[in-house]
């Protein structure tokens, strides 16, 4: 490195490649660095980091935008600027902003403040260019942030002293990662070589962590959700194999058993013309609300137009039997009126925060017409005793303004689902095409004690947190859910495709990692999570 205090950063856009890296992705700000000023390494796996927002037109439709020819410059007091030309999605210059320059500010190349369009004269006081020298400490933190983490070591004592089998089963391993973060791994011991009634020295092997779940787990299922209920595991999803007709549940003793060959599927909500359940049985989700188990889902009658419904499990009844469930009812507003008259509603999910109970769902008008608004997420409060009735007016939470959310004619914010950790709500959602490679996960975060119907309580990530660049061989990962497995690990379930040209939705599951800075990481492949050489260990066991 030529200068021990600085590292060179550069920004760029990429050329659009149809069916591989389209304009909505290519015309964004990409970031790379160099330690010697000669050889550059792209960050975020060469996927865009800063995406421009589209315009909302007078008819409430979105006009996608991008950015090209970005430049860098250094300002005062440790601030940096990134500027570029605003474009249309195809990279052509945007007529409405032809005489302006887009501007973002950053102190750390991790968080960015969008200033917006400014007069080029404003930038003349700084020297803009293709490269900028960044202080080493700042640069290394940014490089770590935008670089994938991977497992480097497993810490388990070479010699373990115990008095009984229970003490041995309490021993855990610690996986160590490239950013300095760690993850606790449960050790599943084979104790057949140990006689716990006789003190002595033994040798035993253990498998580390939960079983590896290879993608795809199930083919032809979208929007997967898993639940552990009264000692059993359950799986529900949108069933593409049956044209999205009916809601089916699987039951097994383990997560792996849910995806075993020949596993039974139990029809719990059938096609029913009388009740108006005829098509688009979409995105069923299990939720425990007020101590009772519900399924939130969307369904259409004879006329297409999915609407959010709730269905409650009768007390003491089996999940996998149709007669165990009460008659589904549509979600209504506080005044008793329909949730989405003249529009569609779907993908409803539940947030049990300290500040109250909330529903989040996707809403869309004029789908498939020139006035298509795109799907957008709304939020409202709800009484857990009557979760089918909102208790506040719906508030627009987010709509697909960024290039990755409205790429190639798909304008989606849908599939929200949350987990809560350390006082913070993490709400993932999906953008891009639901059954194509551009599908990706976005992230909204808020404090658990905040009023979640106040949009200023939320922070929306500009950059998607899971894409087809994340894990090799998995395309269009999205519409996810979360659950805690039997080892106590937070897991993410999602659908995606096997190939960049496929449209058959398939299911995958992986562990959610938490990086050194505390943020969730959804991108670890099985090998990045735990190297193959650490999956089985042998240790000396001393029984006292």
- The tally of domains found in the chain comes to 2
Q: How many CB atoms lie within 10 A of CB 3?
A: 12
What pLDDT does residue 37 have?
86
> Are 42 and 161 part of one and the same domain?
no
- In this structure, the dihedral spanned by the alpha carbons of residues 328, 334, 340 and 344, taken in order and rounded to 10 degrees, is -40
Same domain membership, residue 141 and residue 47: yes
User: Can you tell me whether residue 457 is helix, strand or coil?
Assistant: helix
Residue ending a domain, among 146, 165, 190, is 146
Please state, in angstroms and rounded to a whole number, the distance separating the CA atoms of residues 271 and 287: 22
Residue 98: the pLDDT is: 87
DSSP letters, 504-518, are --EEEEEEPEE-TTS
Q: Give pLDDT, residue 5.
A: 79
| Sign of the Cα pseudo-torsion (149, 151, 157, 158, in order) | negative
| Nearest alpha-carbon partner for 414 in 535, 285, 530, 540 | 285
Rounded alpha-carbon distances, angstroms, from residue 329 to 277, 296, 311: 11, 10, 7
Q: CA 308 to CA 363: how far, in whole Å?
A: 10
Q: What is the DSSP string of 472-538?
A: TT-EEEEEEEEEE-TTS-EEEEEEEESSTT----EEEEEEPEE-TTS-EE----HHHHS-GGGSEEE
What integer pLDDT is reported at residue 267 of this predicted model? 98
φ/ψ of residue 255, rounded to 5: -60, -45
The token pair that represents 18 in the structure block: 């149809």
**Residue 446 forms part of a structural domain:** no
Do 166 and 59 sit in the same domain of this protein? no
Whether 67 and 160 map to the same domain: the answer is: no
Contact 188, 160 (CB under 8 A): no
The answer to whether residues 138 and 43 belong to one domain is yes
- For residues 19 and 132, membership in a common domain is answered with yes
In a domain, 45, yes or no: yes
To 5 degrees, how large is the angle CA 143–CA 147–CA 150?
A: 130
In a domain, 490, yes or no: no
User: pTM for the whole thing?
Assistant: 0.97
CATH of the domain at 194: 2.60.40
**Which residue numbers in the chain have pLDDT < 50?**
1-3
pLDDT digits (tens, 9 = 90+) for 104-129: 999 999 999 999 999 999 999 999 99
**Which token pair is 10?**
């550069």
DSSP 367-391: TTSTT----EEEEEEB-TTSTTBBS
Residue length, the chain?
Answer: 544
Q: Is residue 229 part of a domain?
A: no
Nearest to 65 by CA among 402, 478, 526, 447: 402
DSSP label of 334:
T
Domain-embedded: residue 18:
yes
Report in angstroms the alpha-carbon separations of 537 from 32, 160, 176, 283, 377. Answer: 39, 13, 16, 40, 46
Q: What are phi and psi of 250, to 5 degrees?
A: -110, 150
What is the domain range of residue 168?
153-210+533-543
Q: Which of 117, 96, 88 is nearest to 26 (CA)?
A: 88
Same domain, 136 and 187: no
Q: Do 84 and 165 belong to one domain?
A: no
Residues 42 and 168 in one domain: no
In this structure, the dihedral spanned by the alpha carbons of residues 274, 280, 281 and 283, taken in order and rounded to 10 degrees, is -150
In whole angstroms, what separates CA 345 from the centre of its chain?
A: 20
71 lies in the same domain as 183 = no
Residue 168: predicted pLDDT = 97
Which of 108, 127, 146 is a domain's end point? 146
> Which pLDDT score, from 0 to 100, does residue 2 have?
43
* Domain membership flag for residue 461: no
Q: What is the pLDDT of residue 4?
A: 60
- Cβ atoms within 10 Å, residue 131: 16
Contact 219, 504 (CB under 8 A): yes
Residues 157 and 120 in one domain: no
For residue 202, tell me if it sits in a domain: yes
Q: What is the pLDDT of residue 1?
A: 38
Residue that finishes a domain, picked among 128, 146, 164: 146
Same domain? 73 vs 180: no
* Digit-coded pLDDT (tens) for 435-456: 999 999 999 999 999 999 999 9
What CA–CA distance (Å, rounded) separates 17 from 25?
10
Position 456 in a domain: no
């Amino acid at each position: 490195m030529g200068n021990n205090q600085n590292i060179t950063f550069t920004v760029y856009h990429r050329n659009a490649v149809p069916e591989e890296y389209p304009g909505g992705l290519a015309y964004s700000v990409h970031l790379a660095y160099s330690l010697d000023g000669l050889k550059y390494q792209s960050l975020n796996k060469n996927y865009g980091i800063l995406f421009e927002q589209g315009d909302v037109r007078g008819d409430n439709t979105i006009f996608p935008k991008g950015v090209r020819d970005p430049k860098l410059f250094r300002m005062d007091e440790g601030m940096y600027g990134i500027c570029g030309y605003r474009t249309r999605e195809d990279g052509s210059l945007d007529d409405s902003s032809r005489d302006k320059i887009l501007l973002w500010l950053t102190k750390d190349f991790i968080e960015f403040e969008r200033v917006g369009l400014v007069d080029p004269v404003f930038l003349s006081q700084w020297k803009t260019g293709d490269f900028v020298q960044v202080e080493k400490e700042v640069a290394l933190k940014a490089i770590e942030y935008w670089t994938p983490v991977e497992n480097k070591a497993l810490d388990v004592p070479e010699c373990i002293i115990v008095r009984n089998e229970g003490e041995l089963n309490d021993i855990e391993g610690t996986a160590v990662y490239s950013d300095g973060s760690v993850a606790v791994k449960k050790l599943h011991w084979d104790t057949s070589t140990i006689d716990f009634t006789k003190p002595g020295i033994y040798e035993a092997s253990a498998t580390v962590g939960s079983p590896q779940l290879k993608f795809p787990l199930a083919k032809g299922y979208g929007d997967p959700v898993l639940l552990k209920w009264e000692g059993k595991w359950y799986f529900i999803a949108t069933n593409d194999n049956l044209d999205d007709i009916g809601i089916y549940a699987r039951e097994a003793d383990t997560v792996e058993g849910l995806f075993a060959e020949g596993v039974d599927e139990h029809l719990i909500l059938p096609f029913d013309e009388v009740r108006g359940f005829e098509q688009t049985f979409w995105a069923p989700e299990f939720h425990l609300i007020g101590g009772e188990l519900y399924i939130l889902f969307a369904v259409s009658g004879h006329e297409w137009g999915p609407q959010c419904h709730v269905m409650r499990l009768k007390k003491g009844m089996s999940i996998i039997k149709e007669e165990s469930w009460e008659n589904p009812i549509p979600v209504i507003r506080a005044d008793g009126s329909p949730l989405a008259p003249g529009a569609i509603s779907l993908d409803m999910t539940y947030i049990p925060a300290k500040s109250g109970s909330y529903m989040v769902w996707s809403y869309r008008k004029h789908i498939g017409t020139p006035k298509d608004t795109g799907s957008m997420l709304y939020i409202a409060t709800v009484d857990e005793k009557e979760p089918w009735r909102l208790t506040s007016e719906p508030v627009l939470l987010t709509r697909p303004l960024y290039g990755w959310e409205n790429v190639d004619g798909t304008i989606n914010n849908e599939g929200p689902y949350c987990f809560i950790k350390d006082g913070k709500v993490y709400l993932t959602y999906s953008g891009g095409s639901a059954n194509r490679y551009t599908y990706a996960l976005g992230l909204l975060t808020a404090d658990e004690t905040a009023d979640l119907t106040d949009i200023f309580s939320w922070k929306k990530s500009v950059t998607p947190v899971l894409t087809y660049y994340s894990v090799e061989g998995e395309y269009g990962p999205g519409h996810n859910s979360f659950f805690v497995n039997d080892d106590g690990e937070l897991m993410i379930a999602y659908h995606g495709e096997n190939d960049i040209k496929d449209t058959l939705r398939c299911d995958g599951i992986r562990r959610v990692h938490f990086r050194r800075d505390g943020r969730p990481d959804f991108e670890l492949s099985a090998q990045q999570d735990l190297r193959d050489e650490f999956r089985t260990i042998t240790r000396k066991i001393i029984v006292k």
